[in-house]
Structure 1
Amino acid sequence: MFGFILFIAVIGFSLSDRKELTMPEKFLGDSVGFAQSLFYKPAGIIAGFFEDIRNLRTIHEENEQLKLMAAAYARDKINYNFIEQENKRFKEELDFTERQEQLYNYKYRIAQVVAVNNDTSNRTMVINLGSKNGIKKNMAVTTVDGLIGLVSEVRPFTSTVMPITELDEKSPNSNLIAATILGKIDSFGIISSYNQETDRLMMTKIDEKDKMIVDDVVITSGLGNVYPRGLVIGTVENKQVGDFGLTYTASVKLAAKFDHLTEVFVVEVQDIEDAAE
């Protein structure tokens, strides 16, 4: 036993005293290092594989978040554009009513178009205001752009509007429009019919000395106690000699846009209301 301990001590002393390893020791160390590298590299590859999986999962989650953010941005952009357009329209309508009320003492009731009848024999539209809202028959209906027509039927909560595109001088139920030219008080004519093929109103009874010209703005004159004065109808497109050569007629391009009507104004005038009773 003593001899074995002494052998170990001698070996330890000899090893500690040496500055360089023997060839067998070097070989043994390199072999152990190589074997360790064989195990370490697959372990590193496997660890990197799982790390890549975690990274892919993180990237996927970030991708989903970006998709959601892009969808939310697109939705918000659409909402913004819609609100911006509505705001612009409301400003135009407010400016329109303020300007009109300064010119003439009218009240404007805004109404939504809830139905449109495109029957060729009876083109009408329905608005969401009725007698409960103070609407009465023969009240004029307009938009920011121009005259639309007259209230033809009234119910408690809705009313029917007969558009000016249904004007026909041969019809006993048609309210012809007494018209004049903006800025020319001596001009006068009657909007008596609508040509569906040309999409133009016909203005008749124009005096041969009338100074109206192309592009003049045609407005209601207020005569006849039906349509209040000052509502824009359209613009003169051409002027020609009428029947028998005694008066002139003019083709009038509509100012109002009848496609996709959503909001209109019902014009409330005391004199018109009294006349309608």
Structure 2
Amino acid sequence: MLIGLVMFIILMGFTFGSRVGLTWPEKFVRDTVGFVQGVFYKPASYIAGFFEDVRELKDVYEENERLKKAVAQYARESAEYNMIKNDNINYMNLLKFTETQKQKYNYDYRPANVLSVNQDPNNHTLVIDLGAKDGVRLNMSVTSVDGMVGVISHVGNFTSTVKLLTTLDPQDAKRQQIAATVSDKDTFGIIESYDKKTKMLKMTRIPEDDPIKEGDLIVSSGNGGVIPRGMIIGTVDKVEVGEFGLTRTATIIPAANFQDWKTLLVVFAPEEPKG
């Protein structure tokens, strides 16, 4: 019936195309077709919307389950961390640590807004809105919520320049190297370069019998006194035999993504006492 009505309207359009206005039979047919279309369209749209809501509800449920697991894991890790922290404080008191020694790894993370980014591949830097007046010093570490970004290379009164890890180059006479370790193993290595093609960091000088393996979390060891201990660098992608066969080399996937930053964190480590 609907098809017949539509064809009738088309035919009348061809027949009376030159007229201005419609006759009452034509108006009746047009209104009838519109009514019939509405009768079929509305239920169909309600049904489609219902199934779309069901799909969204399923996605929300799955996301809720993932969040529950994450919260439960965080609670367990938080409790374990507090126990270890209290044990550590007790051991330091028993061993008569000085207050400076106790505060050595008590870092303060201060947020800084990114003002500008220099995309020059040979001098990849950015400028943040913290400077000397805020206590920023040369070689302070800068990190994102994901992982370490770089170090402070220049300090002004109100702004500072951050040299990114993507500028690490073993051929650079003033190169910045990072002593690194695996978060839960007795591992040693040096983060010394960044491959612009693969977008990977290179960790060298790893002992031949080191237990490092794919998937391990790499953090700064704190050796050398420049980069604080525990800064997240990335995860191991693969481990290979070193250049002369006496050591091993690891390819590291950086934790930070090195793009689209708006806010970063400057790491304020306690200053070593002078004298």
Which interval holds the TM-score relative to the shorter structure? 0.5 to 0.7
Residue 11 of structure 1 corresponds to: none
Residue 264 of structure 2 corresponds to: 264
Shift in Å at residue 271 of structure 1? 3.6
Residue 150 of structure 2 corresponds to: 149
Amino acid of the residue matched to residue 214 of structure 1?
A: E
Shift in Å at residue 270 of structure 1? 2.1
Q: CA RMSD, aligned part only? A: 2.0
Residue 218 of structure 1 corresponds to: 218
Residue 107 of structure 1 corresponds to: 108
Residue 120 of structure 1 corresponds to: 121
Kept in 2, the 8 Å contact 1:182–1:217? The answer is yes
Shift in Å at residue 122 of structure 1? 1.0
Residue 206 of structure 1 corresponds to: 206
CA distance in 2, matches of 1:144, 1:187: 24
Amino acid of the residue matched to residue 155 of structure 1?
A: G
Kept in 2, the 8 Å contact 1:180–1:187? The answer is yes
Q: Deviations over 1:192-215 (max 9, x none)?
A: 100000000000000000001100
Residue 192 of structure 1 corresponds to: 192
Q: Deviations over 1:121-172 (max 9, x none)?
A: 2110000000011101100000110000000000000000000110112212
3-state SS, counterpart of residue 119 of structure 1: coil
CA distance in 2, matches of 1:139, 1:120: 22
Under a length normalisation based on structure 2, what TM-score does the superposition of the two structures give?
0.61
Structure with bigger gyration radius: 1
CA distance in 2, matches of 1:250, 1:149: 20
CA distance in 1, matches of 2:253, 2:149: 13
Q: Which runs of 5+ in 2 are unaligned?
A: 1-73, 89-104
Kept in 2, the 8 Å contact 1:225–1:271? The answer is no
Residue 8 of structure 2 corresponds to: none
3-state SS, counterpart of residue 261 of structure 2: coil
Structure 2 CA distance for partners of 1:205 and 1:271, relative to 1, 3 Å: farther
Residue 241 of structure 1 corresponds to: 241
Kept in 1, the 8 Å contact 2:205–2:249? The answer is yes
Are 1:129 and 2:137 matched, yes or no?
A: no
Amino acid of the residue matched to residue 140 of structure 1?
A: S
Kept in 2, the 8 Å contact 1:110–1:265? The answer is yes
Moved over 2 A (4+): none
3-state SS, counterpart of residue 244 of structure 2: helix
CA distance in 2, matches of 1:121, 1:234: 22
Matches within 5 A, 1:1-277: 104-184=105-185, 186-271=186-271
Amino acid of the residue matched to residue 256 of structure 2?
A: A
Under a length normalisation based on structure 1, what TM-score does the superposition of the two structures give?
0.60
3-state SS, counterpart of residue 252 of structure 1: strand
Q: Deviations over 1:15-62 (max 9, x none)?
A: xxxxxxxxxxxxxxxxxxxxxxxxxxxxxxxxxxxxxxxxxxxxxxxx
Kept in 1, the 8 Å contact 2:106–2:270? The answer is no
3-state SS, counterpart of residue 205 of structure 1: strand
Count of matched residue positions in the alignment of Structure 1 and Structure 2? 175
Shift in Å at residue 258 of structure 1? 1.1
Q: Which runs of 5+ in 1 are unaligned?
A: 1-94
Shift in Å at residue 254 of structure 1? 0.4
